[in-house]
Amino acid sequence: MAGKDRGPERGPIRESLRLLLPLLAAIALVVVAVGVVTTRTTRAWFESELHSRAVLAASSARQGVLSAYASGDSRQLTFLLDDIVHDDQVVAAALCRIDGTLVTRTPLFPGDGEFCDRSRISVANWRGTRTGTQSGVITPLDGGVPSHVSVTTFISALTVPVRLVLLQDFEPAIRRETLVQRWAMLVFGMLAVASSLLTVLSSRLTRGGLMRRLTVALRGESKWWHDGDAPLIDDVRALAQRSTAAAVEADRDGRWTRSRLRSVLNEHVREESLVILANREPYIHDSVPGGDVIVRHPASGLVTALEPVMRACSGVWIAHGSGTADRQSADANGRLLVPPGEESYRLRRVWMTDAEEQGYYYGFANEGLWPVCHQTYARPVFRRSDWDHYRTINERFADTVLQETTLDDPIVLVQDYHFALAPRMIRDRLPRATIITFWHIPWPNAERFSICPWREEIVDGLLGSSIVGFHTQAHCNHFLETVDSALEARIDRTDNAIIRQGGRTMVRPYPISVEWPLRWTEAVPDAAACRRQVFEELELRDDTILAVGVDRLDYTKGIEERIEAVERLLERRPTLIGRFVFVQLAAPSRSEIPQYRQLRDAVEASVERINGRFGTEGYSPVVFLRAHHEPERVFRFYRAADMCYVSSLHDGMNLVSKEFVAARDDERGVLVLSKFAGAAHELADALIVNPYDMEEASGAMERAAFMPPAEQAERMRAMRAVVAEHNVYRWAGRMLLDAAQLRARARRTLNLSGFPMHVSTE
């Protein structure tokens, strides 16, 4: 009986298999045939295109090459070959005599004449002095990526025949072939699934109209199916659920997140290959009275941006160990794992003497480069001794990079103006490294930067980078102009690249941002609770309009102008006296520099004057809190405030504005933002002002104080969408993916340069 019961169940399955197997075999044959034809057609088309490019390049260079060769001008020949290699797909070029002897070549062309001889023999057996261009595809024997080689023979009455050999990148053709193959497999899979379902459904329809029952069953109206139909219905439902889940996941992954950044970089960048070079360390260990050690988070926009990236990507962060307990918290080599409790990446501390720190950091970096790059009317100071210390510390950090990486081609992220010389020094030590230098402050125009006595050394140091990044395109343009005026280099305006001494440096805008969501927002309560806490701490009335500013005590931040704007606001709107309070959270900064001490004294004098003029017993219109403030405290003020005023006189980006927006998940509060901050290009829904114009600045603060909640919410939603989309993971992801692509191309070039290899003309 059991066998008889199974028989009817197996019948439909066997019938379906008899129908499916021949059908699937036919589909597979058709897909394979189409794939082969398409692949060959694609390759032939691409080879034809590269051949045409080679013919055009050879034709354009012919007259110049023959003239230079006849006159023996090797320098002109090198220049002509370098010019040809500017084509994105041309990897290298060489000029050979008819007997295969090398005349000259570009740096990436393999061998010293051997390749020319092998090409003459192997590629279609170039015969005698036949003119024209012959080409083919070469493939390294070690399995590397093929390249396209073309040989053009130049004949002239003035000289013996010579050959121009061009190597062109053939990887796009390989990618197209791979894409065709993947599509072929996808088409086969889709057709196989579709044909299988249709065949099964057709066979089942002969047993009582399964299609109608299946439709009704999937709608959930009633159980109109037989017991044998249930597995198919379950499969269809599961397929629909998986498709829906995949669509939701794809939509969610459209935004850069920490997990997405980690996933992408795991595919392209090995953890041990990522090195960050920065003056500021993300965690500072300080001794406090009683012998205890505390961990502080520095008030640094650089740390705010980079620390979430390192938590996501791992690697090593090399920085100056500046804390009083930094040595005792690290091992003998200055290494420790951070963050405390998570230990997701390594911090390597570099030590320096007081004299070195004074010259390198306070001297050249912050009394010289900082005022040169910021248009704030501060006079830069340059001393030879400071420059010597700056160069010494850059060398020390470059040596540390060599100690902290196990690879010969790591990805190194050099951060900011403290290490302008380091890229070239790292390049000398690790020629195959992919170096991205990100300049966190503005880059001035060429005339202003010419003030620096060592501008050539600074620019040359930066050109050791594979990529130099800035916040805005305007800063990129200024840098290109500076290079053009300071050094002999070729500027590729189309690709925003600089070609010098055989090296190529790309110049790119990468607007920096904050993480999304900000982890510090999870450490503080909601906006209502933060407002209660801050109002209780400052003893404010419930109807107080609270404005905040958060900055290092730096003359570029416009703190003096900000406080003057508050004074002008109270003058033009006397009804706000007693109700309006401005709180400035000011972290002490660079107090060893006279200009910073003068700024501190000037701000304190202004605060005292305004409070004396408008304050009453129990009311001070300006509250100046000069101390180090941990992020949790800063974010409590962000959430408690009715407005945040960012009055930068000149700023590369300014992350305070983005932190304020990210903190306001209640969609309340108004951002008043200086037009001279890079963030003004992105946060167009802030109230944009000229901080030097007291009428405009105070007017914007007045408007913010009385802005309706609906308008606040509309503006804040728009700005939050911008910050969420353009977050720090996107900033890092774009840079690191660009770096990974450059490294992959360099590795392909290295494979191409290796011998032995075989040549094919098929």
- pLDDT tens-digit series, residues 670-718: 999 999 999 999 999 999 999 999 999 999 999 999 999 999 999 999 9
Instruction: Give pLDDT, residue 232.
Output: 55
Q: Which amino acid is at 256?
A: W
Same domain as 535, residue 430: no
**Mean per-residue pLDDT, 242-263:** 57
Asked if residue 224 belongs to a domain, the reply is no
Asked if residue 399 belongs to a domain, the reply is yes
Same domain as 501, residue 529: no
| Mean pLDDT for the chain overall | 82
Q: Which amino acid is at 347?
A: L
Instruction: Give pLDDT, residue 580.
Output: 97
Instruction: Give pLDDT, residue 571.
Output: 96
Instruction: Give pLDDT, residue 254.
Output: 65
Whether residue 391 has pLDDT greater than 90: yes
Same domain as 674, residue 580: yes
Query: pLDDT digit string (tens) for 404-423?
Result: 998 888 999 999 999 999 99
Q: Which amino acid is at 25?
A: A
Cα separation of 439 and 678, whole Å?
13
Instruction: Give pLDDT, residue 106.
Output: 82
Asked if residue 261 belongs to a domain, the reply is no
Cα separation of 590 and 9, whole Å?
84
Sequence-ordered list of residues with C-beta below 8 angstroms from that of 34, at least 6 positions apart, any chain: 184
Whether residue 268 has pLDDT greater than 80: no
Whether residue 554 has pLDDT greater than 50: yes
C-alpha angle with apex 534: 532 to 537, nearest 5 degrees?
105
C-alpha angle with apex 494: 491 to 498, nearest 5 degrees?
25
Same domain as 476, residue 336: yes
Whether residue 549 has pLDDT greater than 60: yes
Same domain as 289, residue 157: no
Q: Which of 509, 537, 565 is the last residue of a domain?
A: 509
Same domain as 165, residue 290: no
Same domain as 563, residue 462: no
Whether residue 347 contacts residue 366, with contact meaning beta carbons closer than 8 Å, is answered with no
Cα separation of 474 and 480, whole Å?
10
Whether residue 567 has pLDDT greater than 70: yes
Q: Which pLDDT band holds residue 7 (cuts at 50, 70, 90)?
A: very low
Q: What is the CATH number of the domain that holds 32?
A: 3.30.450.20
Asked if residue 287 belongs to a domain, the reply is yes
Cα separation of 598 and 590, whole Å?
11
Q: Which of 195-199, 466-470, 699-703, 753-757 has the least mean pLDDT? A: 753-757
Cα separation of 458 and 17, whole Å?
73
What is the pTM assigned to this prediction? 0.64
Q: What domain range is 632 assigned to?
A: 523-726
Q: Which pLDDT band holds residue 615 (cuts at 50, 70, 90)?
A: very high
Asked if residue 759 belongs to a domain, the reply is no
Asked if residue 91 belongs to a domain, the reply is yes
363 exposed, middle or buried (CB, 10 Å; 0-12, 13-18, 19+)? buried
Same domain as 548, residue 499: no
Instruction: Give pLDDT, residue 124.
Output: 38
Q: Which pLDDT band holds residue 270 (cuts at 50, 70, 90)?
A: low
CA dihedral 304, 306, 311, 316 (to 10 degrees): -130
Cα separation of 643 and 624, whole Å?
16
Q: What is the 3-state secondary structure (H, E, C) of 220-252?
A: CCCCCCCHHHHHHHHHHHHHHHHHHHHHHHHHH
Asked if residue 345 belongs to a domain, the reply is yes
The more confident residue out of 338 and 145 is 338
Whether residue 256 has pLDDT greater than 90: no
Cα separation of 59 and 161, whole Å?
15
Cα separation of 502 and 93, whole Å?
13
**Mean per-residue pLDDT, 264-286:** 83
Instruction: Give pLDDT, residue 414.
Output: 97
**Mean per-residue pLDDT, 220-224:** 41
Same domain as 468, residue 363: yes
Strand order in the sheet with 497-500: 335-338, 345-350, 316-320, 274-277, 411-415, 434-438, 467-470, 503-509, 497-500, 490-492
Q: Which of 188-192, 237-241, 411-415, 723-727 has the least mean pLDDT? A: 237-241
Q: What is the CATH number of the domain that holds 380?
A: 3.40.50.2000
Query: What does the buried/exposed string (b/e) look like for 130-160 if buried means 16 or more CB atoms within 10 Å of the residue's CB?
Result: eeebbbbbbbbeeebbbbbbbbbbbeeeeee
Same domain as 566, residue 437: no
Whether residue 755 has pLDDT greater than 50: no
Provide the strand spans (E) within 447-574. Answer: 467-470, 490-492, 497-500, 503-509, 545-552
Query: pLDDT digit string (tens) for 488-528?
Result: 999 998 889 999 988 899 999 999 999 888 888 888 999 99
Instruction: Identify the H or E element spanning 83.
Output: helix 74-84
Instruction: Give pLDDT, residue 233.
Output: 52
Residue percentage of the chain with pLDDT more than 70: 80
**Mean per-residue pLDDT, 575-582:** 96
How many Å is the Cα radius of gyration of the chain?
A: 33
CA distances (Å), 129 to each of 149, 154, 162, 299, 392, in order?
18, 9, 9, 70, 57
Q: How many domains does the chain have?
A: 3
Same domain as 539, residue 435: no
Asked if residue 235 belongs to a domain, the reply is no
Same domain as 583, residue 504: no
Instruction: Give pLDDT, residue 291.
Output: 80
Cα separation of 504 and 491, whole Å?
10
Query: What does the buried/exposed string (b/e) look like for 207-235 if buried means 16 or more CB atoms within 10 Å of the residue's CB?
Result: eeebeebbeebeeeeeeebeeebeebbee
| Strands 670-674 and 687-689, bridge-based pairing | parallel
